[in-house]
Chain A
Amino acid sequence: MFINACLYYLHCTSRNRVLGMLRRMRQPKYLIGMLAIAAYVYVFFIRNSFLENVSPSEQRQIAVAGVALMGLLQISTAWIMPGRGLAFRESEVQFLFPRPFSRFQLLMFKWVVGQFPLLFSGFIIGLIFGRTSAFTFTFFVLGFWLSQTAITTHALLYGLCRSQFKSKLRLVPGIAFLAAVPILAVFAWISIGGAQTLPEFLALTETKPLSYLLDPVKILAAPIAAQSLFEFLQAALIPIGVILIHLVVIRWSNLPFEDDALALAAKIQEVRRSGLRGLRSKKTLVLAKPGSPWQLAPIGRDWQALVWKNVISITRFSKQTILRIAGVTFILAYVLSTRGGDFWGGTGTTRIGFGLLAVIGYVTLLGPALIRVDLRIDIPHFDVLKSMPIRARSLIFGEVMGTVIVLWVVQATVIVIAAIFITEEEGQRFGWDVKAPLTAAALIALFSFDFALLTCENLIALWMPGFVRLGRGAKPSLDQMGPYILGALVKLNVLVVFLLPAGLVGTAVGFLCKYLGLPPIPSVSIGIAAGSVILAWAGFAAIQLSEARYNRFDITSERIGTE
């Protein structure tokens, strides 16, 4: 009964999934996107051989060590998080738990269903790494699958045992193990003077005491290096034995897991609906309620209300998040000031200053992707917004400006601190006669660039909603990645269209100032400021041109995939 039902489920699910994907390929955006992904994977991963210039026997040892290291990290993270084995979906809880399935059968359902992704990942890894003459492709794929199955089965049993303890101390073994792996790896790295080539990486994995942890897992990974059927079967005995022993213990122990599974299912559902925020406990969310210091004023312009709505949403993060950011910043600053001298000159504070400038770069480029509190979140709620008496241009402008303000405040703070810290590098002093105009120009430029970039992001979402991830939900499936990549390419082109005239004007003004006799630094600063004005104007113009699109937008007729 169980096997019959399980096979039926697997057959129907796989078939419908593939058919659904093939049906979607009839739409050009999905087909082109999928071809783009396939081309990318082929060019960057499959065509290149990562194990060139290394002897076949070394290739096999490196592959086994690499898979073992990956397995070690998987085991250590599985000791903290229950993993796939107990992560039932809400549909599975609702329809399988009340059915006449034993606990073991329920777990086996998940275990069997999980084999296909493992086999598929083995196939992909095999395509990337296992096509050289050092390996037999079939044994590589099957060996990888066996090692992964052994690890996930172990993670399942560990998760079951761990779920019997309710104390917070149950996380201690996992955290200790997870901390031990990188610490031992770094220790090994230092002891052999660094590993920059693949043979050196191999030597690192054989260094004690890291090897004490790695050697048992290498035994599980050994089948990938088999050259003959006999060799494969011999090497596969141990991972198969490990799997069987774990399954027997799971069957015999009959440990209850339903409470944990239910809690996980609810979390998974929440993550699918609202992204990673779904992982936060309700208690944290309640306590975080007064997290934002701002309040929405009862009167003011309509677009300002949207700005405040988004600013309040973005700044409503928990104390733990602030502490984490502060902690990471402190560590980064410490490392730069004490160890950065190995890489570049200057005083410790100057290195911190330049490090902060690098952080600005990341914040500027990644900020719009990470902070999505704007039209991209609100388009699924357009039925509410469109019923409000707000003009289209005010709405779009307000949505964009909320994130721009928060981003710019962060950037401005960091830039000013960086300017204070940067004093001297390789004998050259930086005074405020130089720093002040450059800082001012940078502040103006960053504001304009943030505005332009976020306007791009929001207008692409408005004009091409099927090509942008909307809503808060979990990451898209593979066939949705294609349209999103195309959307990103279009966004890049639009940004270039914004930047070109701004760049030309800025350059021209800069040269004009120099021609008129101004010193270089003020000329550059004025040129940047002029270009920034043009950039901001381009953004405004694009918003005005999008009014008609907003007014015509009908959410039910747009084929939007949201979570």
Chain B
Amino acid sequence: MELLLIILIGLLYGSGVYLILRRSMVKLLLGIMLLGSGANLLIFLLGGITKGKPPVIDEKAKLFQDTFADPIPQALILTAIVISFALTAFAIVLLKRVYALVDSDDLDDLNTNEEEDI
């Protein structure tokens, strides 16, 4: 399981970086999303994968008698997913606006000269 996740994380990071280095804005966005998913899986992996019960422990129990899964990585991933959801939604709207204004998908076309500034 760990090995599978490691390969998957490597793939996600690698393709994410590759897409970010392209000149297209849509590929930039896709690359950022892939990198985000890679980071989330990395938290999941490094938090330690244990087969265990949900970490809700009986009130009277004084000792851990079972293996319990670590709840923190899940909380972190959930937070990170929510944040990346908001960022992605914003980025899609922004890139749509830019495409409508500049009429190009190429990042190199996003350069207004200094002379045209106000």
Partners in one complex: no
Report B's interface with A, CB cutoff 8 A: none
Report A's interface with B, CB cutoff 8 A: none
